[in-house]
Structure 1
Amino acid sequence: MAGMFELFADSDASFRFQLTAPDGTVMALSRPFPDKRAAVAGIAAVREYAGMGFVTEVPAPKPGRVSAAARAVRGRAAVRKGQILLRWRQSLRRPAAVADFPAW
């Protein structure tokens, strides 16, 4: 007996599908789709691509080693965090009061 695709709306009002084994075990869960038509197209794509798909093993990253892409993302995130903190600190500063200005 073959598995079954189940199409449903999730809590975010997006459409998803899951592939369920004959015994009821969920074997795969899709990404969210904006509408039902896109989710049905996703099911068709899975049927087409997964039929005789190759199986490859992706090795786990070695401890302490970070890819160049991960370093770049981490660097951009650190810069953005610094910019946000700087703006926050600037917003906490007390604006100059009228009494702080020299008298003419």
Structure 2
Amino acid sequence: MAGIFEIAMAGEKKYFFKLTASDGTVVAVSPLFNTIKGAAAGINAVRENAATGLVVDKSRGRSKSVPPQAATRGATTRIGAGMAAG
């Protein structure tokens, strides 16, 4: 089963989404968006870019690119840096 994107409210006027794996593990949490449309656009951006995204390893002062297939760890990832709040 594929992961599930879930849009939720943060406060009265902000929205965010999270991506949950089929086993219930939260894989990613978005920044806050001003509208549901903004959150949906963020989900679409993740869908379009996740499979082709370059992984950059900045741990321990390194800045070496890592092939996507080599970067399979179970850590939660903060996504959406650079996404405009909509």
TM-score band w.r.t. shorter chain: 0.5 to 0.7
Q: What are the superposed Cα offsets for residues 32-89 of structure 1, whole Å, 9 maximum, x if unpaired?
A: 000101110000001111112222201345xxxxxxxxxxxxxxxxxxxxxxxxxxxx
Give the % identical residues.
Answer: 44
| Structure 2 gap segments, 5+ residues each | 62-86
* Larger relative contact order (CA 8 Å, sep ≥ 6): 2
Normalising by structure 1, we get a TM-score of 0.54
Give the structure with the higher percent strand. 2
TM-score by length of 2: 0.64
Which structure's residues are more often helix, by fraction? Answer: 1
What is the root-mean-square deviation of aligned Cα atoms in Å?
Answer: 1.4
Larger CA Rg, structure 1 vs 2: 1
User: Would you say 1:30 and 2:50 are equivalent positions?
Assistant: no
What stretches of structure 1 move > 3 A for 4+ residues in a row? Answer: none
Tell me how far apart the structure 1 counterparts of residues 51 and 18 of structure 2 sit (CA, whole Å): 16
- Structure 1 unaligned residues grouped into runs of 5+: 62-104
